[in-house]
Structure 1
């Protein structure tokens, strides 16, 4: 502990360093508004508590714009009693909060001979003389604190991505386990279920996990998903898998929407083969498609096509949307049959031919059929009152690249699995 020159305030090497830094702060490099933005970002960086942050905001609000201009100093001369009244705490608690902010290097003290705070401003609002609490360290450490806040923002962004990916992987594994319970050998199935339970236990509270822990858990969940998916995909019907591959029914990003035109002979032939002639409004749909102006594809979009996403098993769709099996005479056995049934389902839901044509033009036939199945199930569950309006909303999201059918499908699947688990005698693998 260094001896204070005044005998009133105790000094430490850190406080002495911060005092020198505040005395040489380049006041005027950043305006008061920029300092305010920094102030709103540094709480998670410095890990200040509520009282300390409120005190810092009170001190900052006591400064003027002129205090942050070149040639001035942002000094506040409010007494501890005045600060305590605004904070609604005791004077001793106020002193403790001031000491903590001083040790953090956020404030410093510009003391008079007797350590009393005082100050005076001229008519323009500029400080003539002042002794009190200096906020010049916010300017002196502006670049340092901004860099720390940026790193923390990147870390939080990475943490959010890992949380979402882990949640998606967990749902995929749960759905695959539920569908493969009767096809996989009992011991093999129980082995995967135990590994899932172990990973969930080791994961703990995902909201408080560090980035390093989340990255390790993401790798473990991904390895488990790949191993389980390899077995499930190997057990699928080869015919169904071949047709799904030829039709290209993948969940794809909608950043670059597909263009569909009935002038394309292959599209018309596929539509006829899919059974769209069964729809009485098929002619109107074709006319709507032909009358729709073709979407202009920019050269950069043509050079950088959207990458395909994760394949969605048809059984997952039928499990999440049981209304399809209930309404159809025979459940679809492959994606081509689901596309054909979508033409029959559309008028049953009251969706206009124009809305259906718009969805197919923006998202493509495969995603449009999947979107219609999700819409039908949500209407059956009472979540959607206007299927046509809901489908048009999906089309707008697809045009903006914000349509994520995988999340909607996972949400429906989770609710169906939860309802099945609540039935008496149901076996759980969770």
Structure 2
């Protein structure tokens, strides 16, 4: 007796054109087609995002494959399995019934299995007198044979995309490392050029890179960084050729040229070291009269408002924002990485950043920012320098300027107010208003 093969789902489950397409592909499979079920499952797992499958649905597919006794799936074999929900849930690591039904529907929608539902929706097989299966109702695995090559191609495409993404990220990492180190080299070796602008250009490109970026964006940013790298490399190579035409370092030695014509030597700078560093005895007494605590961020920003120009969005709310802005200040002042590293080791990262902001605030009065920082670093190593008198000197100068302006306008000068709403204490104001020794 001829049996009818069910093509529609039981109950209220709808029939879709996608399911008809899957049935057509399964019907067209060649009888001699052979697929290794676990290899096909591996390909499906690799390409699950392209197929729209989920990890739970793949757990169910894995369980369904265990109900088929043969490892090789052939086009002319009966590939219907009929486990009950209890058996299927047990092999799917105890998945709840509602979750089980939901993810079985995902497998059907993805075209990985076909429902062969019985008239009452039960799954079972009817056997003949000889024990052979005459009719089975359950899940048809024939799409795995019919689409085996498709799954393999999708898996290879996923592998190729992963390799391309890995190569793109490696290129981006190498470019970032090379650019940062070449900028430091240009500053430390005194190569002429606006290295502060180059660093800002680099920061602007990197700022467009989110935490999780697609390969296309990584490649686009890498292309921009590559162009910037070529410009930096060309500038360094051109300068190297002009300084050492024969290319032999052993003949001429290391050449360091400072691109700032107004920079002074260390010995020239030490003559006025005390006056600029704020290291007089009177200033030391003022510092000792201040509270023994860290400088508040608001007071530092009130004394050094210039650093706000370099902060992202023109706003600094936390110390980490302040430290990030200080990293931009260093190359703009032409301070070498080695001098900055020594300052952080001697002063600590936070106080080194405060010192740098103070130097930036008085950049028009300091001929050699790098030499100034090195001098302050040496004084700090000897315990003769603190950021308190430097910030107090800037606040005193600001207060004097306000008083002068107020006198000219015939109005009372306002007290200095930190940018984040903090008010200076009475002791601090008394210290600032102390007459400085002549």
TM-score if structure 1 supplies the norm length? Answer: 0.52
Offset at residue 6 of structure 1 (A): 5.5
Partner of 1:232: 236
Counterpart-to-counterpart distance in 2, 1:77 and 1:241: 82
Offset at residue 187 of structure 1 (A): 7.4
Contact 2:35/2:72 (CA < 8 Å) preserved in 1? no
Offset at residue 125 of structure 1 (A): 11
Which of residues 114, 133, 136 is equivalent to 1:130? 136
Partner of 1:24: 28
> How is 1:198-277 mapped onto 2 (pairs within 5 angstroms)?
198-205=204-211, 208-236=212-240, 238=242, 242-243=246-247
Change (3 A) 1:235 1:106: same
Which of residues 160, 168, 192 is equivalent to 1:162? 168
**Structure 1 residues 365-401: Cα deviation after superposition (integer angstroms, max 9, x where no partner):** xxxxxxxxxxxxxxxxxxxxxxxxxxxxxxxxxxxxx
| Alignment of 1:59 onto 2:64 | yes
Partner of 2:85: 80
**Structure 1 residues 333-354: Cα deviation after superposition (integer angstroms, max 9, x where no partner):** xxxxxxxxxxxxxxxxxxxxxx
Counterpart-to-counterpart distance in 2, 1:21 and 1:152: 23
Contact 1:106/1:135 (CA < 8 Å) preserved in 2? yes
Offset at residue 162 of structure 1 (A): 1.0
Q: RMSD between aligned alpha carbons?
A: 3.7
Which of residues 169, 191, 195 is equivalent to 2:201? 195
Counterpart-to-counterpart distance in 2, 1:244 and 1:63: 74
Which of residues 135, 144, 152 is equivalent to 2:150? 144
Partner of 1:391: none
Which of residues 2, 10, 14 is equivalent to 1:10? 14
Contact 1:22/1:140 (CA < 8 Å) preserved in 2? yes
Give structure 2 stretches of 5+ with no counterpart. 1-6, 255-337, 357-438
Offset at residue 12 of structure 1 (A): 1.4
Counterpart-to-counterpart distance in 2, 1:46 and 1:229: 46
Counterpart-to-counterpart distance in 2, 1:15 and 1:229: 59
Change (3 A) 1:77 1:418: farther
Contact 1:119/1:131 (CA < 8 Å) preserved in 2? yes
Which of residues 40, 44, 53 is equivalent to 1:39? 44
Counterpart-to-counterpart distance in 2, 1:202 and 1:140: 45
Change (3 A) 1:96 1:422: farther
Contact 1:79/1:117 (CA < 8 Å) preserved in 2? yes
The higher radius of gyration belongs to: 2
Offset at residue 148 of structure 1 (A): 2.1
Which of residues 118, 134, 146 is equivalent to 1:112? 118
Partner of 1:310: none
**Structure 1 residues 263-305: Cα deviation after superposition (integer angstroms, max 9, x where no partner):** xxxxxxxxxxx9xxxxxxxxxxxxxxxxxxxxxxxxxxxxxxx
Partner of 2:186: 180
Counterpart-to-counterpart distance in 2, 1:174 and 1:69: 59
Change (3 A) 1:163 1:419: farther
TM-score if structure 2 supplies the norm length? Answer: 0.51
Contact 1:28/1:68 (CA < 8 Å) preserved in 2? no
Change (3 A) 1:239 1:196: closer
4+ residue runs of structure 1 moved beyond 6 angstroms?
A: 416-421
Offset at residue 89 of structure 1 (A): 2.5
